[in-house]
Amino acid sequence: MDDHENARKSFGSDRARLVYGRRDDGTLAHISEVPRGLSCGCRCPACGGRLIARLKDVHVVPHFAHNDGETCGGGPETVLHQLAKEAFRINPKMQLPERLGLDKGKVVMKPGQEVETELLRLEYSDPKKIIPDLYVRALSYDLFVEVAVTHASDDTKIQRLREHGTMAVEIDLSKLPRDATREQIADAVLRTAPRRWLYHPGIEAAKAKSRADEEKWQAAQAKRFADYQAKHNRRVDELARAYGQAVRQLAGMKTVVPRHAELQAIGLTEHVGIKVAGYGCFTVPPADWQAVILAEVFHDNCLGHEIPKAVSIAKHLEKRNLIRPLFRRVSREVADDTTVAERRFAPAWRAIDSYLQHLLGKDVLGHQGYGVMLEKSLANKWTARTLALKQGTAAMHAVVQKVDWILAELPDKERGDMTGESWLDSVHTESGTTYRAAISV
Ligand SMILES: [Zn+2]
């Protein structure tokens, strides 16, 4: 049980009865210090009305009552405020609140500290009409102390304090019981009650530094964004211009379509050379890279287990140096804006995708699982042809080996400079064809 509980039991109540009256000399008298009734000689500290001391009897706890019967209600708060101010008369130590501040140019929270105080009289005339509750000297600075019982300081008051330039602390006694004892009030106002800085130049400096830091950061962000934007625009311009040049260059380029004989044999030549959007991203005309897709990706299965899709095929074409370096890594944002600047442009992977869609539409490709593959009859035809060619080559190789072996047995004079290979291309006199042609049939 603390002192406050005891005080409540003896002299007060939770309904905040008035337990202090004002003597004629201005000092406050506790109910325990006065005689009963009107002879207490006290007035209400709030309204000044005469008080009657009702001392402890059977039914009531001791308290002061207004003599005219009308309780003004302001007494306990006025008393609390006055006792709080009185606590400073003996130049006590008081606890200052923590605050923002600067330490080596950095914004930090400085912890609160207990300081010696010296009560000062308010003897100056204040043009800004600031009348603080208390004016003390602490840490060799002048300090206003506001004791808030019912209302905390509002923005107008804080602004005036800022303009005045004197440090000010507010102590919040709103949660303190209205009938607290002198000792409890002193302890609360000097140490334990919540407190805050209303104005401190150090806090202002720290806040200004924070704002400056924030503005600097914002400016840096804005610059980063502008730089990014400028870089992006340069890249888009560069791509759009390069794309136009690439298309013109490809138009005049003569090349030999890779694996042309195979494509012709399978009947696929009409399906290469499709000018899909984005064909300018490649180093060769459409027929060339499209032949590579059909032959290497779909027939040779060069991607292995990787599903043939636009992106995986693009990687293969990149390795084969079929995609111009400038168009290799194009982000979606850059690609979209480049398409706006140069309508014929599309990124390489999208050109490949358009080509795959074309082949699907022509039944050259069919869907399989998550990917696409050569249409079955085409695939079979192609595989069979490749196999036959391989066997033909193997047979030819065997013949050449045998001829070489026979030639080795002949005397040098008879053999001359003939080899197995040159024999293959010599003409068989009876049929009029080369041995190579005869064996290939
Ligand atoms: Zn009163």
Ligand 1 centre from 181 Cα, in Å?
19
- Any idea which of 67-76, 94-103, 145-154 has the lowest mean pLDDT? 67-76
Same domain, 136 and 186: yes
Q: In this structure, is residue 209 part of a structural domain?
A: no
Q: In this structure, is residue 27 part of a structural domain?
A: yes
Enclosing H/E stretch for 100: strand 99-103
Same domain, 119 and 9: no
Same domain, 132 and 190: yes
3-class DSSP state of 384:
helix
Q: In this structure, is residue 244 part of a structural domain?
A: no
Ligand 1 centre from 222 Cα, in Å?
63
Q: Look at residue 123 and tell me whether its pLDDT is greater than 60.
A: no
Biggest distance spanned by C-alpha atoms of the chain: 160
Q: In this structure, is residue 127 part of a structural domain?
A: yes
**How confident is the model over 432-441, as pLDDT tens digits?**
888 777 776 5
Higher pLDDT among residues 288 and 181, named by residue: 288
Same domain, 141 and 88: yes
How much of the chain, in percent, has pLDDT values that exceed 90? 63
Ligand 1 centre from 75 Cα, in Å?
5
Section 68-74 average pLDDT: 82
pLDDT score for 151: 84
Same domain, 256 and 363: yes
Taking alpha carbons only, the member of 226, 242, 229 closest to residue 341 is 242
Distances (CA, A) of 391 to 191, 379, 382, 385, 438: 103, 18, 14, 10, 15
pTM: 0.58
Highest mean pLDDT among 29-33, 162-166, 347-351, 434-438: 347-351
Ligand 1 centre from 374 Cα, in Å?
102
Q: In this structure, is residue 210 part of a structural domain?
A: no
Q: Cβ(246)–Cβ(324) under 8 Å?
A: yes
Ligand 1 centre from 421 Cα, in Å?
130
pLDDT score for 124: 55
Ligand 1 centre from 18 Cα, in Å?
9
Ligand 1 centre from 3 Cα, in Å?
27
Ligand 1 centre from 169 Cα, in Å?
29
- Any idea which of 121-135, 138-152, 371-385, 387-401 has the lowest mean pLDDT? 121-135
pLDDT score for 73: 82
pLDDT score for 441: 56
pLDDT score for 430: 80
Ligand 1 centre from 66 Cα, in Å?
7
**How confident is the model over 341-388, as pLDDT tens digits?**
999 999 999 999 999 999 999 999 999 888 899 999 999 999 999 888
**How confident is the model over 283-299, as pLDDT tens digits?**
999 999 999 999 999 99
E-only strand ranges, 231-387? 365-368, 371-374
Ligand 1 centre from 47 Cα, in Å?
4
Ligand 1 centre from 74 Cα, in Å?
6
Ligand 1 centre from 59 Cα, in Å?
23
DSSP string for 152-216: ---HHHHHHHHHHT-EEEEEE-TTS-TT--HHHHHHIIIIIS-EEEEE-HHHHHHHHHHHHHHHH
Same domain, 314 and 369: yes
pLDDT score for 11: 41
Task: Examine the fold and report which residue of 40, 73, 106 is the final residue of a domain before the chain moves on.
Answer: 73
Ligand 1 centre from 65 Cα, in Å?
9
Q: In this structure, is residue 241 part of a structural domain?
A: no
Q: In this structure, is residue 158 part of a structural domain?
A: yes
Section 325-335 average pLDDT: 94
Average pLDDT of the chain is: 89
Same domain, 341 and 360: yes
How many structural domains comprise the chain?
A: 4
Same domain, 360 and 429: no
Residues of the domain holding 104: 84-199
Same domain, 259 and 339: yes
Ligand 1 centre from 72 Cα, in Å?
4
Q: Look at residue 217 and tell me whether its pLDDT is greater than 90.
A: yes
